[in-house]
Amino acid sequence: MRNIITWSLLVLTLPTENATARMRFWRALKAKGCAVLRDGIYLLPHTEEREQMLRELASAIADSGGTAHLLRAPSLDAAQEAEFRALFDRSDDLAEFMRSLKDARKTVSGQSAADLTKLLRRLRKDYETIAAIDYFPGDAATRAEAAWQDFIGLVDTVLSPGEPHSAERPIRSLSVTDYQGRTWATRQRMWVDRVASAWLIRRFIDRDARFIWLTAPSACPANALGFDFDGAAFTHVGERVTFEVLVVSFGFDKDPALLRLGEMVHALDVGGAPVPEAIGFEAVMAGARERAADDDQLLDDMSRVLDSLYTHFVSTTKSKDERKR
């Protein structure tokens, strides 16, 4: 038998003489997904985190001249619980989001990289906003998630055709001295993981590296070291993207700044924990790819950006270490 849900109730009167404050509180309640039981009574399924959020909102309402009381109570019975749960149905919001995805799919192939990343960012925000307040996800949420993942896959195909599948194999420890003056090859029209990997190769592994930009993985010469495509010498392994595999392979995983860069590349390439610098880097990358005449120029342009980011991460890491002392 399912446990009876406990609810947090916020009973409030908003300040009558401060229209700006009233609007701010209404928007906050909506953004947090509160259901309206009746005028002035708002409801959320209880968790400690949500109750703390409502407590802070109640305090802000009181400070602005209104009144707010926070209560906690369980459902009386299954019928009442079903009635309350129905107030949190996000099916209409999810259906609207899926219509947006359907419309967006028709425009993907004709957009620039900069416009495409902007579109993806906007739709991601829309999806995450709904998912964050979908407290009782059902079939509609499952369908929306599948549609969203399909759309991400479509965008990845356009931005980075031939994206490698993850291999399951050990990552061998390699010596930088064995990889000097080599020819390295990856797919042309580089995106985040490939450009960061090429920068890492030239900056830390093989300063005399020569790069070949492939029209297809099958065009990789036998004497070239391939990276970031299926069957390449260096590609995705397990949860790691190619940049991270190179970092570990050549023993740079003791460098906190490179690990921080790896987190950013990972988040942009396959998703994961958000990194503050990621959105800015993605925007610069998209613009640079539009401007660059070829991948040699793209690597040169983005190397300066990655050099600056690396220096920034070195600096912030040192500052953190100094504060700990």
Residues 6+ apart with CB under 8 A from 241: 193, 262, 265, 266, 269, 270
> What pLDDT shows up at residue 159?
77
Q: What single-letter amino acid sits at 35?
A: A
Helix (H) or strand (E) holding 8: strand 6-13
**How would residue 224 be classed by pLDDT, with cut points 50, 70 and 90?**
very high
In percent, the amount of the chain with pLDDT more than 90 equals 68
Question: Which candidate, 264, 116, 312, 298, places its Cα nearest to that of 191?
Answer: 298
Per-residue pLDDT tens digits for 272-323:
787 889 989 988 998 898 899 999 999 999 999 999 999 999 998 776 665 6
pLDDT at 46 over 90: yes
- In whole angstroms, give the CA distance from residue 175 to residue 140: 51
- Other Cβ atoms within 10 Å of 87 Cβ, number: 12
What the chain holds in terms of domains, given with CATH numbers, is 6-86 (3.30.70.1130), 91-159 (no CATH), 176-324 (no CATH)
pLDDT in tens, 154-210: 887 787 766 777 778 889 999 999 999 999 999 998 999 999 999 999 999 999 999
Q: How far is CA 309 from CA 4, 258, 264, in A?
A: 50, 10, 10
Separation of alpha carbons 62 and 214, rounded Å: 64
pLDDT at 1: 43
* 99 and 106 Cβ atoms separated by less than 8 Å: no
pTM, entire model: 0.60
The letter for the amino acid at 316 is: T
Strands 183-187 and 210-214: parallel
